[in-house]
Amino acid sequence: MASTLKWWFGFIFCLLSGLAAAQPIEAAVDLARQGRQVTQEQQIFLLYVSRPDCPYCAQLEKAVLLPMLKDPLLTEKIYLAELSWTSALITDFNGQQRSGTDIVNEYGVFGTPTLLFLDGAGHEIAERLVGYQSVDFYWSYFERTIASAWATLSNPVH
């Protein structure tokens, strides 16, 4: 009886978890507007640099970024936007229209996936995470970097 009940609770949990699907990752289209929102909400701006043909990007999204969007404790602190290297025109943090490649080059990004931890003005506030191999230790690095970014954001140097 108890094992049957556990099985049903597990089944219902899995079913409900599937219904609570993560929202899609928002595109970086107007970094100036998105940055103002991040500043107003006192969040970390997590800019995810990707390429459409990047298999590691797809793995990172599935294992880390989409699950992150399901966690209200993380989404309260973090605003996630995806900057595709191949984007045609994006409004940068200064309000200028530029290509994704121009913005990626400005940050000195050399590969994908790259996670940039920024403030609302587009300044890096923690060490970036470059690449993705597996979920094994990535969550640990990710959470540590979030904590570092949050500490910087909470205690700005004047």
Domain membership flag for residue 61: yes
**Interval 64-76 mean pLDDT:** 94
99 band by pLDDT with thresholds 50, 70 and 90:
very high
Distance from CA of residue 20 to its chain's centroid? 19
Q: What is the pLDDT of residues 107-131, one digit of tens each?
A: 999 999 999 999 999 999 999 999 9
Q: What is the pLDDT of residues 4-31, one digit of tens each?
A: 444 334 434 443 444 344 568 999 999 9
Amino acid identity at 55: P
pTM exceeding the 0.95 threshold for the entire prediction? no
The CA-atom distances, in angstroms, between 113 and each of 37, 75, 83, 94, 110 are 24, 20, 10, 24, 9
Domain membership flag for residue 117: yes
In percent, the amount of the chain with pLDDT more than 90 equals 76
User: Containing domain of residue 117, as a range?
Assistant: 24-154
Domain membership flag for residue 8: no
